[in-house]
Structure 1
Amino acid sequence: MKGFLTVLSAAALLSVSCSKQKADLILYNGQVYTVNGAFDTVQAFAVKDGKILATGNTEEIRKSYTAPEEIDALGKPVYPGFIDAHAHFFGYGQSLQDADLREAKSWEEVCGRLTEFAKTHPDGWLTGNGWDQNDWPGKQFPDKTKLDQLFPERPVFLTRIDGHAAIANQKALDAAGLTKSYVLTGGEIVSKNGKLTGLLIDNATSLVENKIQAPSPQQMEKILMDAQQNCFAAGLTTIDDCGSNYELVNLIEKMQAGHKLKMRMYVMLSDHQPNYDYLFKRGAIKTERLNVRAFKVMGDGALGSRGACLLHPYHDMPDKSGFLLSNPEHFEAIAKKLAEKNFQMCTHAIGDSANRTILKIYNKVLGGKNDKRWRIEHAQVIAPEDFDLFGKANIIPSVQPTHATSDMYWAADRLGPERIKGAYAFKQLLKQNGWIPLGTDFPVEQINPMLTFYAATIRKDASNYPEGGFQKENGLSKEETLRGMTIWAAKANFEEQEKGSIETGKFADFVILDQDLLKASPAQILNTQVLKTYINGEKVYEKK
Structure 2
Amino acid sequence: MNKKLILSGICLAATFFTGCQKEKADAIYTNGIIYQVDSTFSKAEAFAVKNGKFLSVGSSDEILSQYESDKMIDLNGNPVYPGFYDAHCHFVELGNVLQTANLVGTKSFSEILEKLKGFRTAHPAQAWLEGRGWDQNDWEDKSFPTKDSLDILFPDVPVILTRIDGHAVLVNSKALELGGVDEGTKVEGGKVVLENGQPTGILVDNAANLVIEAMPDLTEAQLGDNLKIAEELCFQNGITTVADAGLRKKQIDFVGKMHDNGNLKIRMYAMAHPADTSFYFGNGPVKTDRLNVTSFKIYADGALGSRGACLLHPYHDDPDNSGFLLESVEDLRNLVKAISLLDFQANTHCIGDSANRALLDIYGEVLKGENDKRWRIEHAQVVSSDDMEKFAKYNVIPSVQPTHATSDMYWAEDRLGKDRIKTAYAYKTLLEQNGMLAIGSDFPVEDVNPLYGFHAAVARQDGENYPEEGFQMENAISREDALRGMTIWAAYAQFEENENGSIEEGKKADFVILSEDIMTAPNEKLRDVKVMNTIVGGEEVFTQQKLDKVNM
Instruction: Give TM-score scaled by structure 2 length.
Output: 0.95
2:218 match: 215
In percent, how many aligned pairs have the same letter?
A: 51
Q: Measured at CA, do residues 246 and 15 of structure 1 come closer, stay the same or move farther in structure 2, by a change above 3 Å?
A: farther
8 A contact 2:160–2:170 mirrored in 1: yes
Distance of 2:340 and 2:411 partners within structure 1: 38
Where do 1:10-409 residues align within 5 Å? 19-123=21-125, 124-272=127-275, 275-409=276-410
Is residue 181–residue 196 contact of structure 1 (8 Å, CA) maintained in 2?
A: no
User: Which amino acid letter does the alignment assign opposite residue 122 of structure 1?
Assistant: P
How far apart are the structure 2 equivalents of 1:191 and 1:399?
33
Q: Which moved more, 1:392-401 or 1:276-285?
A: 276-285
State the Cα deviation string for residues 338-365 of structure 1 (Å, max 9, x = none): 1101210000000000000000000011
Give the conservation status (yes or no) of the 8 Å contact 2:284–2:343.
no
Secondary structure of 1:139's counterpart equals coil
Distance 2:505 2:184 in 1: 60
How many angstroms apart in 1 are the aligned matches of 2:16 and 2:33?
A: 31
Contact 1:515 1:524 in 2 (8 A): no
Query: What do the CA deviations read for 1:482-523 (whole angstroms, capped 9, x no partner)?
Result: 000100000000000011000001000000000000000012
Q: Report deviation, 1:16.
A: 7.2
Q: Which residue type is aligned with residue 114 of structure 1? A: L
Secondary structure at the aligned position of 1:525 is classed as: helix
Q: CA RMSD in A?
A: 1.3
Could you tell me how far 1:259 is from its partner in structure 2?
A: 1.3
Displacement, 1:18? Answer: 6.2
Q: How far apart are the structure 1 equivalents of 2:524 and 2:467?
A: 14
For residues 83 and 351 of structure 1, the distance between their equivalents in structure 2, rounded to whole angstroms, comes to: 25
**Which runs of 5 or more structure 2 residues have no equivalent in the other structure?**
1-13, 546-552
Superposition pairs of residues 374-453 of structure 1, within 5 angstroms:
374-453=375-454
Conserved 8 A contact 2:90-2:443: yes
How much has 1:220 moved relative to structure 2?
A: 1.0
How far apart, in 1, do the equivalents of 2:458 and 2:341 lie?
39
Q: Aligned partner of 1:410: which letter?
A: W
Retained in 1: the 8 A contact 2:285–2:343?
no
Change (3 A) 1:19 1:400: same
Q: Is residue 512–residue 530 contact of structure 1 (8 Å, CA) maintained in 2?
A: yes
Q: Secondary structure of 1:384's partner? A: coil
Q: How many residues align?
A: 531
How do residues 437-516 of structure 1 correspond to structure 2 at under 5 angstroms?
Answer: 437-516=438-517
Aligned to 1:529: 530
- 2-structure distance, mates of 1:16, 1:459: 58
Q: CA deviation at 1:138?
A: 2.3
* Structure 1 Cα separation of the partners of residues 478 and 184 of structure 2: 48
8 Å contact kept, 1:245–1:269? yes
CA contact (8 A) 1:87 1:442 kept: yes
Q: Deviations over 1:259-299 (max 9, x none)?
A: 11100000000121xx1122122211111111101000100
SS in 1 for 2:34: strand
- Greater than 3 Å deviation, 4+ residue runs: 12-18
